[in-house]
Structure formats: structure tokens, C-alpha cells
Amino acid sequence: SQKIEQNSEALNIQEGKTATLTCNYTNYSPAYLQWYRQDPGRGPVFLLLIRENEKEKRKERLKVTFDTTLKQSLFHITASQPADSATYLCALDPWGSNYQLIWGAGTKLIIKP
């Protein structure tokens, strides 16, 4: 079956350290993969998009990698801050270019001061 997996358990990280979240998928060959942030009581907010021909994408303290061989994306937050605490969702379009996204369940990240 088609599936996207993210760490279901909350990830606790000490402030200042790098947080790394994982998104694994099976049975897809997506053209791109996205990461979103969701705070309690709010809708997801887009962070980064990485395409299949890109190995790495950066935005300020955020970095995303995409390994189509391993069928895995890693999401890194460097110099983490308590304000980074949220649930992070990965999403991909399995059929390519029709914008129907399949979503992971999300990983809750807690940055401790």
C-alpha cells in the first residue's frame, strides 16, 4: 500500500542543538516533497519544497534533503529554539503535477530551554 511514515513519537531536543526529522515513503516516485509546520489550533504552514532532482534545500536555519533511492527526506533545524516547537508534516504528490498531496501523520518537536 502507499504510505508516508514520520516518527510518531515526540522528539525532544535541547535548545541550540540540531533537530532532525525523518519522512519515509513507499511505492511512490514523487516529483517533489514538501514540509509544513503546524501549531496547535492552526492550519499547516508551508516551509520548504524539494524536487526530485535536488539533493538539498536550505532556508535560514532549515535544511531539507531528499534521497529518492532511499525514499527518504530529512528535515533539519539548526540552532533550535523553543519557538521551533510544533508538529512538522511532510507531504508529497504521488501522481506528479496535479497537486493532490498525501500527508504524513507529523512529528511533534519539543525544544527544551
Partner 1 sequence: DAGVIQSPRHEVTEMGQEVTLRCKPISGHDYLFWYRQTMMRGLELLIYFNNNVPIDDSGMPEDRFSAKMPNASFSTLKIQPSEPRDSAVYFCASSAQGSLAGGPETQYFGPGTRLLVL
HEC per residue, 43-64:
CCEEEEEEECCCCEEEECCEEE
* Residue 86 near residue 38, CB atoms below 8 Å: yes
Which of 21, 35, 85, 106 binds partner 1 (CB under 8 A)? It is 106
CB of 13 to partner 1, least distance (A): 23
CA proximity to 20, closest of 90, 78, 84: 78
d(C-alpha 113, C-alpha 103), whole Å = 30
CB of 104 to partner 1, least distance (A): 7
d(C-alpha 81, C-alpha 18), whole Å = 10
84 binds partner 1 (CB under 8 A): no
98 binds partner 1 (CB under 8 A): yes
Choose between 10 and 45: whose C-beta lies nearer to partner 1. 45
Choose between 26 and 100: whose C-beta lies nearer to partner 1. 100
From the list 16-24, 42-50, 65-73, 76-84, the region that binds partner 1 by CB under 8 A is 42-50
